[in-house]
Amino acid sequence: MTKNEELTQHYNSHYVDLASERIGGETLACSDDFFAEMENLLKPGRGIFIDDKYTERGKWMDGWESRRSYGRDNGREYDWCVIRLGIPGVIYGLDVDTNFFRGNAPQTVSVEACVSEDQPDESTEWQTILSQSPVDAHSQNFFEISPDKTKATAWTHVRLNIFPDGGVARFRVYGEARVNWNDFVDGELIDLAAIKNGGKALLVSDMFFSDKNNLIMPGRGKDMGDGWETKRRRDPGPDWSIIKLAAKGNVQKVIIDTHHFKGNYPDHFTLEGTVSDSDDFTGGENVDWQPIIPKTKLYAHREHLFLKEIVADKAQAFTHVRLNIFPDGGVSRMRVFGHRVLDK
């Protein structure tokens, strides 16, 4: 495994890409995107290259690419792109990926952030979270961000600056979600597992076919690749996924969705919960897991609603849940609805 592969795995395992278009990240404005649109920055995967594909403006590129600025001569000392994060959050890492931008990558980049309820404008106060730093062409360029742990800011927007111009294939903003609980109505059922509410997929037994975070993404899965799917076991199982809930809460309703999984859905599942101050789980073997839903049948390509099957006391609170699937297979989405419980 290369160093960049290790870093990608590290950031994807410990954090969420707060800027991803899958969770609502959006490019709002840029100085120039003559050759390639700014929206490409937040797409999934890494940029691709098609050798003989051109547009009327020039070579088609899978990323954001500005025209040559010629420095101060035309009033653009550098190019920039403003991005609204899909989830406000604390930022711990950045990936400025110049994949396939070999002769047209920027020389250096910087990143600023702000907190704004509205779309940033000329009066917005930006704070630098990454000072001007060199980047390599045709490469992932990782930058660690070290926020003040005691007063870490939950940013809402970032601005990527590239000097003097050029192209970036993808831009990842890795961090932890910070939810404003005042946005919820008293008594409202909250999907405590949802990634947009601050839920976090901590650990899985296997994710051979697809990523663990898919389980708690918004919306229904678009295809079989947009879920959590394990390889075939040759023992009774189960495979499992541990989710840190967005907040300590009880469980009132659960949805298990096997959308698109027709020949490879799990036969049965259980759901368990625990209370823990730590996220340092291994397989959860030494954790006091309490039953929430006992072993229950699942069906292909179906959204399953569970209410009466919940055996946990409706007042009992959990900080983490573990979904166990027997013996293996694929689940598109899991929703865990409940009420936030505040410690007295």
Same domain flag for 151 and 272: no
In the chain, the N- to C-terminal Cα span, in Å, equals 47
pLDDT for position 129: 97
Same domain flag for 173 and 112: yes
Same domain flag for 65 and 211: no
Instruction: Average pLDDT across each block of 10 residues of the chain; the chain has 344 residues. List them in order.
Output: 90 92 96 96 95 93 91 77 97 98 97 95 95 98 85 93 97 94 92 96 90 94 95 92 96 98 97 91 77 98 98 96 97 98 84
Indicate the pTM of the whole model: 0.91
CATH of the domain at 239: 2.60.120.260
What's phi and psi for 12, nearest 5 deg? -70, -30
* CA dihedral of 25, 26, 30, 32, whole degrees rounded to 10: 110
Same domain flag for 267 and 119: no
Same domain flag for 216 and 171: no
pLDDT for position 127: 96
Same domain flag for 29 and 109: yes
Give the number of other Cβ atoms within 10 Å of residue 217's Cβ: 21
Same domain flag for 197 and 333: yes
pLDDT tens figures, 192-225: 999 999 999 999 999 889 889 999 999 999 999 9
The two counts, helices (H) then strands (E), for the chain are: 1, 23
Identify the domain containing residue 194 by its residue range: 183-338
pLDDT tens figures, 20-63: 999 999 999 999 999 999 999 999 999 999 999 999 999 999 99
